[in-house]
Amino acid sequence: MGCSRSRDNLLQFISSVLNTQHPRDWIETRPQGLYCRPAGCFIDPHKPVARAIITHGHADHARPGNQWVVATPATLDIMQLRYAEQAWQDHVALAYAQPLCLNPEAVEAEQVTLTFQPAGHILGSAQALLEYAGSRLVISGDYKRRHDPTCEAFEVTPCDVFITEATFGLPVFKHPPIDQEIEKLLESMRVFPDRCHLVGVYALGKCQRVILALRELGYDEPIFMHGALIKMCELYQSHGIELGSLIAVNDVKDKRSLAGKIVLAPPSALNDRWSRKLPNVRTAMASGWMQIRARSKQRNAELPLVISDHCDWPELLQTLTDVNAPDVWVTHGREEALVYQATNMGFRAQALSLLGYEEEDD
């Protein structure tokens, strides 16, 4: 990696001979989000646009009101569940590894091809590979490298420019193995057998991952659910992901029977009136942010579970090495540290300032 200067020159030479264009010449950031000019398409726009590529179903990436949307089938199902008739006016379902020409009306040299590759973040999550004029750009969306039975594993995709997220882009972030965190929850259940363990989880992704991790460690009792989580779990089940026995808290007549049980709820419900009806609650929260004490305190979590659907710092660096794109653009999160480290590793790195992503969503 120490010879980036001479490699730059070489790349310039090759592109001038082959008449290729670098992604910086055909990708731009606009107020609505990242924009691919030759295809006339936004990627994960945060305002309604005419044409949108959606990497995954989290609300800060998949927003309602776009006219035409292309996404993986699972992402489309998630958007439909959340936004119903507001999800889109027109859509295209694109499976992983299937190329799609985004502008078939253009002459061949001007055509842009989109291919989705698994991102390992949540069900249906994809990296978007855009190919144009002989160059390749990968937009990672959100991604992780850990084992996650609820979605397909991240696929390393060679490219000229790799746009990476940096949600946990600081060396303090080292996520422990999920088994270790779930074991903390199970141990707490043994130490406090009479307490209802209320676990805060985001409805899409984290919820189902926590359930499966519990099942993998042999917890096969029914898991009780806040109403806001049920539909998404059903959607996962319809995609062939077995979650075991789930019961809505609302269907439990005697709430006292929830003592010693696990109840999952969205984070907003943890300190809400809703949780007051549960018996002798012990509050846990599953999120990558729980590694930082103050964040756990802000959430009032007595039992912080460090479980993330994003890369931690070592995984981010490992991915840069694996993908090995000469250019790295860093977006939402702690860009500064990752740009600094990527530069030290010999990549041409820069921050790509995109507004509108929620840093809390993990």
Nearer to another protein (CB atom), residue 189 or residue 292: 292
Size of the site for another protein (CB under 8 A): 24
The contact pattern for another protein, residues 103-142, with x = CB under 8 A and - = no contact, is ----------------------------------------
Q: From the CB of 209, what's the least distance to another protein, in Å? A: 22
Of 252, 292, 345, 351, which one interacts with another protein (CB under 8 A)?
Answer: 292
Of 297, 318, 321, 358, which one interacts with another protein (CB under 8 A)?
Answer: 297
Interface with another protein includes 303 (CB under 8 A)?
yes
Nearer to another protein (CB atom), residue 43 or residue 290: 290
SS3 annotation, the chain? CCCHHHHHHHHHHHHHHHCCCCHHHCEEEECCEEEECCCCEEECCCCCCCEEECCCCCCCCCCCCEEEEEECHHHHHHHHHHHHHHCEEEEEECCECCCEECCCCCCHHHCCEEEEEECCCCCCCEEEEEEECCEEEEECCCCCCCCCCCCCCCCCCCCCEEEEEECCCCCCCCCCCHHHHHHHHHHHHHHCCCCEEEEECCCCCHHHHHHHHHHHCCCCCCEEECHHHHHHHHHHHHCCCCCCCEEEHHHCCCHHHHCCCEEEECHHHCCCHHHHHCCCEEEEEECHHHHCHHHHHHCCCCEEECCCCCCCHHHHHHHHHHHCCCEEEEEEECHHHHHHHHHHCCCEEEECCCCCCCCCCC
Interface with another protein includes 213 (CB under 8 A)?
no
Q: Name the token pair of 320.
A: 């840069």
Q: From the CB of 38, what's the least distance to another protein, in Å? A: 32
Interface with another protein includes 295 (CB under 8 A)?
yes
Q: From the CB of 289, what's the least distance to another protein, in Å? A: 9
Of 298, 318, 321, 353, which one interacts with another protein (CB under 8 A)?
Answer: 298
Nearer to another protein (CB atom), residue 234 or residue 360: 360
Nearer to another protein (CB atom), residue 230 or residue 339: 339
The contact pattern for another protein, residues 160-189, with x = CB under 8 A and - = no contact, is ----------xxxxx---------------
Q: From the CB of 56, what's the least distance to another protein, in Å? A: 24
Nearer to another protein (CB atom), residue 79 or residue 270: 270
Interacting residues toward another protein by CB under 8 A: 170-174, 291-298, 300-304, 334, 336-337, 340-341, 344
